[in-house]
Amino acid sequence: MPLELSRHVTKSFPSLSTFEYLIYSCDYGSIKPELAIYRNCLELLKAAPQDILYMDDRAENVEAAARLGINSVLFDTVEKTASRVESRFDIPVPSYGRCRQSSSQYSSTNRRPDRMESD
């Protein structure tokens, strides 16, 4: 991301201030899937690779992070990704974050919770 754009994003989205760190590739001179950007993130976070869960929608980025020992999951759909996280890690995944194929008329910002089978 170009420097000017990263600063614009930070100023335009005040909700980003809830994050302790915002890591923009332009600040580090490295981009995914280069290993240096992942190393920079680990160093900044003072975290061990095995303590991180990384998700990305590009396989080459997931593979690069995994090469450093970072727990990495390919994101394609909410259902598939949630299933992968549940099966590989001891992390509870709320069902309300998932939607059924038949609920496609709902926008991504207005999803309804899954209903019980008896509904």
Give one DSSP letter per residue of 40-75, joined into a string.
HHHHHHT--GGG-EEEES-HHHHHHHHHTT-EEEE-
- How high is the pLDDT of residue 102? 41
Whether residue 49 contacts residue 70, with contact meaning beta carbons closer than 8 Å, is answered with yes
Determine the topology of domain 3-75 in CATH: Rossmann fold (3.40.50)
> Domain spans of the chain?
3-75, 77-119
- How high is the pLDDT of residue 96? 58
- How high is the pLDDT of residue 99? 52
- How high is the pLDDT of residue 90? 82
* Residue numbers in the chain where pLDDT is lower than 50: 100-119
pTM: 0.72
